[in-house]
Amino acid sequence: MSEILEIKNISFGYEKEELLFNDFSLTLKKGEVKAIVGESGAGKSTLFELILNNLKPFSGTLKYARLSEVFQDPYSSFHPSYSLLNQIEDVAPLDELDYYLKSINLEYKLLKKLPHELSGGQLQRASILRAMLMKPDLLLLDEPTSALDNVVQLEIMKMLMTHLDDMGILLITHDMELASWCADEVIKI
């Protein structure tokens, strides 16, 4: 099984004197879930920004397969003036739409609305829907269920776990219980 994410010896900090990552390495294969946990400001979200190529490491390399991501703040994940359905259609085929709508307990009619017309939990589920329809090899999840109640959170995570034959998951969370439950490895930073 080949790596879908390979981070080798990266170093990065917002100031060269204060590195968040110093010679940090990580690999992830399809079928694996790895969780990144740490205090606020430890660099969890920065790691995703590095993987997404929004930030450049001072040194080291990052390689990754086809990916999609779910961010903690769903309102920043969607353009405010287009329907959710239009935004999802722009990036993903809709052939499995009904399956995922049922899996995440989201009504189709909500996709015809603008982002601000949904609750935070509904919008977060729409973000997860979009990410899954993109059929990623690598799914980046940054506190993906923090806007959801415990029952929905468990249902969503169980659904994601059923797709590990097709992808690997890198999860950022502050929830050690969630990380311990779903991850093959918990990495503290």
Q: pLDDT tens per residue, the chain (189 residues)?
A: 589 999 999 999 998 889 999 999 999 999 999 999 988 888 999 999 999 999 999 999 999 999 999 998 888 899 999 999 999 999 999 999 999 999 999 999 999 999 999 999 999 999 999 999 999 999 999 998 887 888 888 899 999 999 999 999 999 998 899 999 999 999 998
CATH number at residue 167: 3.40.50.300
Q: 88: domain range?
A: 3-188
Count of Cβ atoms closer than 10 Å to residue 178 Cβ: 20
Q: Which residues contact 172 (CB under 8 A, 6 or more apart)?
A: 35, 36, 37, 44, 45, 47, 48, 72, 140, 141, 142, 143
Cα–Cα distance, 3 to 149 (Å, whole number): 33
The total domain count for the chain is 1
Q: How many CA atoms lie within 13 A of 94 on its CB side?
A: 12
| pLDDT for the residue numbered 1 | 52
pTM beyond cutoff 0.85? yes
